[in-house]
């Protein structure tokens, strides 16, 4: 039974370099998918809230964009979003790829955490332990621990599920006493419309290569849920130039068809009902450096 006097809650900033498995780990914590994942860096562009509720705790997991040196206005906005979450956090969950040694980027993040919020508690989730060679275990873990001596740490594998339960328990133990902010059955603050747009972008990331995926964003023009019937979704993929548009469409529409089929299946799985997905492609030159356009689409 819910006990308000003993209930714990708080904000957990999930941070790390691009492509270390932050979103995969958040999905593993929740037991279902709320954040898109891909093998390409910078998949996460916005702060994504995951709500993990148990009998005596509610953990607000804020999955942040990968921290890296910004190249575009979009990158600067993503970095600012990550910094803001760290500043307000009760706990920083720093995700690292323990299968490789820390580099300049990891040292920068460790310094950033202390500079922004030196009073918060830090837990290092050393992810991708399934790829860590036995002879590197002591060396790699010690190098990450040295970067943040005050932090507790744990080896995890988001893919295999190793130590996921232990990390969740550690987070709850570190949280302060606090209220329940969301209903117990709510796992995110994103709407089905917003999540559908992200699933379409994930599908584009899956099929497209090189720089093109990072120059794509999705606008859901229409989202109509018809109970007992197909949900109607009309979406536009925005790209930066005509060449990219041609690649996204593909010969005789082959690429956009592949992207659409995969996205439709994912959206149907999420909604639990059939979906009619229509996709279009438009050009918005250099949108990642267009502050007005970024504000319009919510970045």
Mean pLDDT of the 288-299 span = 68
> How far apart, in whole angstroms, are the C-alpha atoms of residue 186 and residue 195?
14
Which alpha helices (H) appear in the chain, and where do they start and end?
A: 22-30, 73-88, 104-116, 137-147, 164-174, 192-207, 242-249, 254-271, 291-296
pLDDT in tens, 30-79: 888 887 666 665 566 677 889 999 989 999 998 887 665 666 676 676 67
> How far apart, in whole angstroms, are the C-alpha atoms of residue 269 and residue 172?
30
> How far apart, in whole angstroms, are the C-alpha atoms of residue 268 and residue 245?
26
pLDDT band, residue 147 (cuts 50/70/90): very high
At 222 the pLDDT is 95
Residue 2's nearest CA partner among 175, 165, 182 is 182
Mean pLDDT of the 195-209 span = 90
How large is the greatest C-alpha to C-alpha distance in the chain, in angstroms?
Answer: 62
pLDDT band, residue 111 (cuts 50/70/90): confident
Cα 59 versus chain centre, distance: 16
The residue that leads in pLDDT, 70 or 144, is: 144
Enter the pTM of the model: 0.82
Domains and CATH numbers, the chain: 8-174 (3.40.50.300), 192-296 (3.30.300.20)
pLDDT band, residue 112 (cuts 50/70/90): confident
């Amino acid at each position: 039974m819910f006990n308000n006097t003993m209930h714990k809650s708080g904000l957990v900033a999930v941070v790390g370099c691009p492509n270390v498995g932050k979103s995969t780990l958040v999905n593993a914590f929740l037991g279902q998918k709320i954040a898109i994942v891909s093998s390409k860096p910078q998949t996460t562009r916005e702060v994504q809230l995951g709500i993990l509720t148990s009998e005596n705790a509610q953990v607000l997991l804020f999955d942040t964009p990968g921290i890296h040196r910004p190249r575009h206005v979009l990158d600067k906005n993503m970095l600012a979003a990550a910094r803001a979450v760290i500043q307000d956090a009760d706990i920083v969950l720093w995700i690292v790829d323990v299968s490789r040694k820390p580099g300049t980027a990891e040292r920068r993040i460790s310094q950033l955490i202390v500079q922004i919020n030196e009073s918060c508690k830090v837990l290092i989730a050393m992810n991708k332990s399934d790829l860590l060679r036995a002879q590197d275990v002591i060396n790699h873990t010690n190098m990450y621990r040295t970067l943040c001596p005050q932090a507790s740490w744990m080896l995890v594998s988001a893919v295999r599920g190793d130590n996921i339960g232990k990390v969740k328990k550690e987070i709850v133990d570190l949280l302060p006493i606090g209220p329940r902010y969301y209903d117990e059955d709510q796992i995110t603050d994103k709407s089905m419309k917003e999540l559908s747009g992200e699933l379409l972008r994930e599908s584009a990331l899956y099929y497209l290569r090189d720089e093109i995926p990072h120059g794509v964003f999705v606008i859901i023009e229409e989202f109509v849920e018809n109970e007992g019937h197909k949900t109607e979704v009309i979406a536009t993929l925005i790209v930066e130039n005509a060449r990219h548009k041609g690649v996204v469409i593909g010969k005789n529409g082959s690429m956009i068809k592949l992207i659409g089929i995969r996205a439709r299946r994912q959206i149907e799985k999420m909604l639990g009902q059939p979906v009619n997905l229509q996709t279009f492609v438009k050009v918005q030159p250099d949108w990642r450096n267009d502050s007005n356009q970024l504000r319009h689409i919510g970045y």
